[in-house]
A and B are shown apart, each in its own frame.
Chain A
Amino acid sequence: GQNIDQPTEMTATEGAIVQINCTYQTSGFNGLFWYQQHAGEAPTFLSYNVLDGLEEKGRFSSFLSRSKGYSYLLLKELQMKDSASYLCAVMNSNYQLIWGAGTKLIIKP
């Protein structure tokens, strides 16, 4: 079967750094996506990785290791508005997006 695993919930402090991990097993691989979803809202696209390595975009960075079936989303200089769920999704060989259950990130002052 296909599955995406990520922690259910994480807590971090404002101004700190947090890393949200995602491991996956899918039928083929055509890229890994991270989305942010605030409570009561639809997901918004954050990042895309298809090659191994780190993609940096402002305070957010995403890393991919295809051989390990592993990715992480790194959030720096955390702000209260970063409190949200972070969804990891993998596009398989059929170009279908397989979704993780999401990681709820709680930011404390």
Chain B
Amino acid sequence: GAVVSQHPSWVICKSGTSVKIECRSLDFQATTMFWYRQFPKQSLMLMATSNEGSKATYEQGVEKDKFLINHASLTLSTLTVTSAHPEDSSFYICSAKLPLAGGPQETQYFGPGTRLLVL
């Protein structure tokens, strides 16, 4: 079953408005979550690493003042797209680290994603 949820799954908004996307880990605590963006027919692009109780680490080229990340609890990280514009329209996906069963390593489990359309 799903271990990471995202809300909302679809957002349509007007240019200039802000949109908040929630990512929740279900039945486990996630000290680290990741936010990705994916444009049509392109690969995942890591935007930022969200760490519970501290500031997010942004990848090069990602504006931290435009994409606000808050990881206030061990089960919730939020991404707020501020003053959204049509070029921000994309598929936003979060993931959380979870240990692999039977091994010491971890992998990332993804939420179902949020489609954002900015008009």
Q: Does A74 belong to the interface (CB within 8 Å)?
A: no
Q: A41: which B residues are within 8 A, CB to CB?
A: 112-113
The answer to whether A87 touches B109, judged by C-beta atoms less than 8 angstroms apart, is no
Contacts between chains A and B (CB distance < 8 A), count: 37
Q: A44: which B residues are within 8 A, CB to CB?
A: 110
Contact of B44 among A31, A40, A99 (CB under 8 A): A99
Contacts known (A30-B105, A33-B107, A42-B93); A99 close to B112, Cβ less than 8 A: no
Contact of A48 among B46, B93, B107, B113 (CB under 8 A): B107
Cα A97 to Cα B107 with chains together (Å): 9
The answer to whether B43 touches A42, judged by C-beta atoms less than 8 angstroms apart, is no
Interface size class on chain B is: 10 to 19
Per the 8 Å Cβ criterion, residues 11-42 of A in contact with B are: 30-31, 33, 40-42
Residues 54-96 of B, flagged 1 when their CB comes within 8 A of A and 0 if not, give 0000000000000000000000000000000000000101000
The answer to whether B105 touches A31, judged by C-beta atoms less than 8 angstroms apart, is yes
User: Nearest chain-B residue to A98 (Cβ)?
Assistant: B46
Cα A42 to Cα B113 with chains together (Å): 6
Residues of B that sit less than 8 Å from A by CB: 42-44, 46, 91, 93, 100, 103, 105-113
